[in-house]
Structure 1
């Protein structure tokens, strides 16, 4: 859990408790301004800060222990996947949902997989099964990701996705399910506030699709690596990710051209299913 996710989770817990920020801040021995900065990821919360905030809110000792440990990890701005797995992958989905509820603009670049917000249930299950989760944890995490997808229908937000063509061809699930996944991408692309771009293989490229990243409101970028999730908040570094996103956006297909490419690949999967 990174700084932004932790802040969003603390805010969600406070709101759910019905307690006002001033009262929580007073009980936590901090100023309302400091609490606001922690909740909005403008200030990293120490483990002591988190413990005091959660004590003021009145959560259970178990919840307090989990978020205090997350605070210790988030101080490095990198959260190892093994820590998230220990805390509960489904709780990571809850924290991300809270973060997405607060943002107004999302830009996501994904060169390896269909973005989580666009995934079908079957695709989600196939992706998560790599992590050897228990069936209960797997089900809760799938449900958490599906619940997050409600943000797609909030037309007050601007959501922009860029994926590379190999993503559409990477066989995470059988052909028929891949066809259904591509149909979903086409369907979501017709929402007025959602833009989906595909970088085609046939176009000469000047940049490299290194890894996935998400930019939220130009104030933070989240980078997925093999071992951890890294959060970037320095405006100069966030700007590098914005520049990279816009570079791929300029050479990507969108609208009917994008849908034509996706539908062509979908039809290939359907023909393969029929002859298989």
Structure 2
């Protein structure tokens, strides 16, 4: 995947009438995570409807402050970026005000492996999982979970966020791609709709979240995975290196 936003015919894509953001992560984060989060706040505030696919971490629109803090700190270390963690966390939490605004809508898909991933100390994902069931029932939010044992019609690929029908932002470790080409937007909407057919919503989604939540806090208890799925040992390198049973690779999810 190219690190340059591309539009129709391979030409650089236009981004809401403004210059595209710096696609390279290191240069993008030269001023820290705070400015990046403020840019996202503006984009999200202007959007009426969002469609997002998250398959590496809990969506930024739903993260607790502690979960967001751990993610920012990890990426700051990876990219040798300035440590403005608290500024970035405040900006991230401010964005979540959108969830309570009438007329706004967030349509989110997350793979169940996102819920299993231990990318923070155990008390942090526990609190994060405690938050999610209440969000599932909100009028402004539609959350679908892709269970570990679901038949997926496509490989998950990169996480992305679509703002109305005007912009798709695709995440990768080395770059953030802003695509405003109509064909690219339509393609990502088809991808979202295709995965939505394999997702569970409402009470079924809450049951998946509850199953994962029960696994945290008592390592002596067996992990309650869906039939046919096997979790690695808690002593295995996969768990200690923050990988979940089916975590996708190469996803950044800074937004």
TM class, shorter-length = 0.7 to 0.9
Cα contact 1:189–1:196 (8 A) shared by 2: yes
Q: Deviations along 1:91-147, whole A, 9 cap, x unmatched? A: 111111111111100011011100111111111111111213444x11111111111
Flag the 1:89–1:202 CA change in 2: closer, same or farther, 3 A. Answer: same
TM-score, normalised to structure 1, is: 0.70
Superposition deviation, residue 274 in structure 1 = 9.4
Bigger Rg over Cα? 1
Unaligned runs of 5+ in 1: 4-39, 45-70
Tell me if the contact between 2:53 and 2:192 (Cα under 8 Å) persists in the aligned partners: yes
Question: In structure 2, what is the equivalent of residue 93 of structure 1?
Answer: 37
Are the counterparts in 2 of residues 110 and 213 from structure 1 also a CA contact under 8 Å? yes
CA distance in 1 between counterparts of 2:209 and 2:194 reads 21
Q: What's the C-alpha RMSD, in Å, of the aligned pairs?
A: 2.3
How far is 1:174 from its partner? 2.4
3-state secondary structure, aligned to 1:186: helix
- 1:43 to 2:17 alignment: yes
Shift of 1:43: 2.9
How far apart, in 1, do the equivalents of 2:221 and 2:85 lie?
Answer: 31
| Structure 2 counterpart of 1:195 | 142
CA contact (8 A) 1:179 1:267 kept: no
Question: Which one scores higher on RCO, CA 8 angstroms, separation ≥ 6?
Answer: 2
Tell me the distance in 2 between the aligned counterparts of 1:178 and 1:88.
24
Q: Which residue of 2 aligns with 1:180?
A: 127
Structure 2 unaligned spans of 5+: 6-13, 223-233, 235-255
Partner of 1:122: 66
Deviation at 1:209, TM superposition (A): 0.6
Aligned ranges 1:202-221 → 2 under 5 Å = 202-221=149-168
Aligned mate of 1:108, from 49, 52, 61: 52
Please give the per-residue CA displacement for 1:38-86, whole angstroms capped at 9, x wherever unaligned.
xx94434xxxxxxxxxxxxxxxxxxxxxxxxxx4xx2xx6621112211
1:138 matched to which residue of 2? 85
Partner of 1:164: 111
2: CA distance, partners of 1:42 / 1:261: 37
Following superposition, the deviation at residue 155 of structure 1 comes to 2.3
Show the counterpart of 2:199: 252
1:177 shift after superposition: 2.0
Aligned to 2:211: 264
Higher helix residue share: 1
Give, in angstroms, the shift of residue 243 of structure 1: 0.2
Structure 1 CA distance for aligned equivalents of residues 33 and 102 of structure 2: 28
SS in structure 2 opposite 1:115?
A: coil
Work out the number of aligned pairs and report it.
208
